[in-house]
A and B are shown apart, each in its own frame.
Chain A
Amino acid sequence: MQITVKLFASFRAGRFITAIREVEAGTTIADVIGQLRIPLQEIGTIMLNNRHADPERPLQEGDRLALFPLVGGG
């Protein structure tokens, strides 16, 4: 199935901004993070279809996954 992965801030370096990726059914968010070689402890915020999500969450066809390192401002 196809999902869209969006990367932000330092995660973009050497990777991409947005990519369509083919993943197998049952793939979790953590699996995608692993495939991207992003250490899980560097993940600040995960958003799946504009909602916060946990890494254990299995992905569905057409999901939009956004990965952020820990960032802040204000």
Chain B
Amino acid sequence: MDKIIRINMTDLTSKVEAVPAAWAGLGGRGLTSTIVAAEVPPTCHALGPYNKLVFAPGLLTGTPAANSGRLSAGAKSPLTGTIKESNAGGTAAQMLARMGIKALIIEGNPAGDAWYHVHLTTAGVTITEETELVGKGNFAVIDALEARLGKKTGVLTIGPAGEMKMTAANISVKDPDSKIRSHGRGGLGAVMGSKRIKCITIDDAGAPKVEIADPEKFKTAARAFAKALLDHPVSGEGLPTYGTNVLVNILNEAGGLPTKNFTIGQFEGHEKICGETMHDTIAKRGGKTKHGCHAGCIIQCSQVYNDKEGKYLTSGFEYETIWGLGADCCIDNLDDIATADNLMDDIGIDSIETAVMFGVAMEAGILQWGDSTEMLRLLREEIAKGTPLGRILGGGTGSVGKAYGVTRVPVVKNQGIPAYDPRSVKGIGITYATSTMGADHTAGYTIATNILNVGGYVDPLKKDGQVELSRNLQIATAAVDSTGMCIFIAFPALDIPECLPALIDMINARFGINLTGDDVTNLGKHILKVERQFNLDAGFTNKDDRLPEFFNTEPVAPHNVVWDFTGEEIDEFWNF
């Protein structure tokens, strides 16, 4: 029987609750956002005792459905002040699902300076004081916990950044290779740090399989779904071969690759950091060009990137990180970017926020453009150690912009704008402006249709159709984020007619229900409206759904275009 586990860090107690009827049909983002909206006062301090940190596996997590092993984490974000959901791969989601834990709600903040370790088993929850791992990086934490509790143990952990409550801190999730996946965006690591939880471990021994109401129907649907994923050129071939970093060259060619802190749309050094070069480098050094972030992933967009000696350097090496430290900081050395990626995993800091931040830091003169040696030093010596400068940097893009008086600060709702210039790819600008999460490309990935010819084509340089495109994608994404599915299933879902019905059939077969496509769309709309209402109640208005001023006034080469949507045009987004 599914249950809710509620942990109160104020008095260090826990209890098991029945799942309220209203939450029964929800999972992943739909559930974390519903719980946060219902239980967290929107005006509370995100690091204070009234915020809650919620983890939830998706509706299909723990089943044999391909690519369904994502974990959602939700809270009020200390970075943006908005509601936040961030999802990640790793092993924890499937363990929680097998244990029937529909959501883990962590509330209250303890008095005193002690740190805690929360351990979940089928028998219940134990909360113990943690001393050995305090101050340790995430890789050491995972190694130590495996030695203490066994190799199979699931781990959620924060690094020094989370302990210091830096607003760019993330939550790390152990992956199948005992490396790291991240609930990256929005500073959720700081929320975990405010609750003085260094790590959460999961032992699912004795947990049953996830029950499926109609196994035959499920098997048929799961097969059709997996076939669609493997048949589509993006999920079946492009992503497994080149990873997400295949995007460097196509965005560069389209003039939408933000370079030198968003002053140009193309990077001279693109060939040195692109997916094609990365693929060849990985193959030559004996790394892995294909790799999954969770068991059951058949897309395998991740990789293991080795150094020149053939030793592990990083994995889960994503386009946004490589773009940010590469083009946006003018660093054309992929090995240095990989070293930084690994350091950010260890420190526990969002690699998108931090990369965008370094672009602003270079503009501020804290370090020179392209100076990867100093960038690595700042990560190791300032951010990881929490020096005064390190805390400013660890506060993210907006923090550095404010501290150094920079006006070209690419953020929406104080969250760094990722890897696609909204002036030359206008649909994604609507997503950045309107997303309930602050600037978040995954919230409504218009790049698919603006640039990649997936799900049709909408000219990236024209205003026509962008609001509708972003709206439809944000609604669909909110629903997909509730299933536990990887968002990359959207590529086949946009092009292959059998894909989405198969996904809905799997949900129906899992629970013995009869959702239609309209029900799923309505779920997506409902989630967005719940999140939006939280933000409005927190004090945000439509005037916060805007891009920074410099996008309106500074044309970006090679197209020499500005962001030209009016406020009224952007606000049309919410007409649904």
A residues at B contact (CB < 8 Å)? 6, 8-10, 12, 17, 42, 44-45, 47, 50-52, 66, 68-74
Q: Contact mask B518-529 → A, CB, 8 Å, 1/0? A: 000000000000
Given known pairs A6-B253, A45-B452, A74-B488, the reply for A69 and B559 (CB within 8 Å) is: no
B residues at A contact (CB < 8 Å)? 232-235, 237-239, 241-247, 249-250, 253-255, 271, 275-276, 301, 318-319, 441-442, 445, 447-448, 451-454, 457, 459-461, 487-488, 491, 558-559
The 6 closest A-B pairs by CB, nearest first: A73-B244, A72-B234, A70-B233, A71-B238, A73-B247, A71-B246
A9 to B278, CA, bound (A): 11
Q: Closest residue of chain B to A43, judged by CB?
A: B453
A17 to B239, CA, bound (A): 20
Instruction: Name the contact of B233 in the complex, choosing from A50, A51, A69 (C-beta under 8 A).
Output: A69
Given known pairs A9-B246, A44-B452, the reply for A72 and B239 (CB within 8 Å) is: yes
17 further A-B contacts with Cβ under 8 Å, apart from A51-B461, A72-B247, are A8-B249, A9-B249, A9-B276, A10-B238, A10-B241, A50-B254, A68-B253, A71-B233, A71-B247, A71-B250, A72-B234, A72-B452, A73-B239, A73-B244, A73-B247, A73-B275, A74-B442
Given known pairs A71-B452, A73-B244, the reply for A10 and B237 (CB within 8 Å) is: yes
Asked if A74 and B441 sit within 8 Å, CB to CB, the answer is: yes
Q: Closest residue of chain B to A70, judged by CB?
A: B233
Residues of A contacting B244 in the complex (Cβ-Cβ under 8 angstroms): 73-74
Q: Closest residue of chain A to B249, judged by CB?
A: A8
Asked if B250 and A8 sit within 8 Å, CB to CB, the answer is: yes
Given known pairs A9-B275, A50-B254, A73-B319, the reply for A45 and B451 (CB within 8 Å) is: yes
Residues of A contacting B301 in the complex (Cβ-Cβ under 8 angstroms): 73
Asked if A74 and B253 sit within 8 Å, CB to CB, the answer is: no
Asked if A69 and B238 sit within 8 Å, CB to CB, the answer is: yes
Specify which of B253, B255, B459 lies most central, judged by the most chain A CB atoms within 10 Å of its CB. Answer: B253
Residues of B contacting A70 in the complex (Cβ-Cβ under 8 angstroms): 232-234, 238, 452-454
A66 to B491, CA, bound (A): 22
Tally of A-B residue pairs with Cβ under 8 A? 95
Asked if B234 and A71 sit within 8 Å, CB to CB, the answer is: yes
A50 to B242, CA, bound (A): 22
27 A-B pairs with CB atoms under 8 Å apart are A8-B249, A8-B253, A8-B276, A45-B453, A50-B255, A50-B558, A50-B559, A51-B461, A52-B453, A52-B460, A68-B253, A69-B233, A70-B453, A70-B454, A71-B239, A71-B246, A71-B250, A72-B234, A72-B247, A73-B301, A73-B319, A74-B244, A74-B247, A74-B441, A74-B442, A74-B445, A74-B447
Instruction: Name the contact of A45 in the complex, choosing from B232, B241, B250, B445 (C-beta under 8 A).
Output: B250
A64 to B283, CA, bound (A): 30
A42 to chain B, nearest CB (A): 8
Asked if A73 and B559 sit within 8 Å, CB to CB, the answer is: no
Instruction: Name the contact of A73 in the complex, choosing from B245, B453, B558 (C-beta under 8 A).
Output: B245
Chain B residues touching A, majority SS? helix
Q: Closest residue of chain A to B266, judged by CB?
A: A50
Residues of A contacting B451 in the complex (Cβ-Cβ under 8 angstroms): 45
Residues of A contacting B233 in the complex (Cβ-Cβ under 8 angstroms): 42, 44, 69-71
A73 to B253, CA, bound (A): 16
Asked if A72 and B448 sit within 8 Å, CB to CB, the answer is: yes
Given known pairs A9-B275, A9-B276, A45-B453, the reply for A72 and B253 (CB within 8 Å) is: no
A74 to B250, CA, bound (A): 12
Residues of B contacting A66 in the complex (Cβ-Cβ under 8 angstroms): 253
A10 to chain B, nearest CB (A): 7
A62 to B262, CA, bound (A): 28
A73 to B255, CA, bound (A): 17
Residues of B contacting A47 in the complex (Cβ-Cβ under 8 angstroms): 253-254
B485 to chain A, nearest CB (A): 14
A72 to B242, CA, bound (A): 10
Residues of A contacting B250 in the complex (Cβ-Cβ under 8 angstroms): 8, 45, 68, 71
Asked if A72 and B488 sit within 8 Å, CB to CB, the answer is: yes
Specify which of B241, B243, B301, B452 lies most central, judged by the most chain A CB atoms within 10 Å of its CB. Answer: B452
Q: Closest residue of chain B to A67, judged by CB?
A: B253
Residues of A contacting B234 in the complex (Cβ-Cβ under 8 angstroms): 70-72
Instruction: Name the contact of B242 in the complex, choosing from A6, A45, A52, A71 (C-beta under 8 A).
Output: A71
Specify which of A6, A50, A52, A66 lies most central, judged by the most chain B CB atoms within 10 Å of its CB. Answer: A50
Specify which of A6, A52, A69, A73 lies most central, judged by the most chain B CB atoms within 10 Å of its CB. Answer: A73
B402 to chain A, nearest CB (A): 29
Residues of B contacting A6 in the complex (Cβ-Cβ under 8 angstroms): 253
Asked if A9 and B457 sit within 8 Å, CB to CB, the answer is: no
A35 to B168, CA, bound (A): 50
Q: Closest residue of chain B to A18, judged by CB?
A: B271
Instruction: Name the contact of A12 in the complex, choosing from B237, B276, B445 (C-beta under 8 A).
Output: B276
Q: Closest residue of chain A to B250, judged by CB?
A: A68
Q: Closest residue of chain A to B274, judged by CB?
A: A8
A12 to B246, CA, bound (A): 13
Instruction: Name the contact of B453 in the complex, choosing from A10, A44, A50 (C-beta under 8 A).
Output: A44
Asked if B238 and A74 sit within 8 Å, CB to CB, the answer is: no
B38 to chain A, nearest CB (A): 30
A11 to chain B, nearest CB (A): 10
A33 to chain B, nearest CB (A): 15
A37 to B441, CA, bound (A): 35
A8 to B233, CA, bound (A): 14
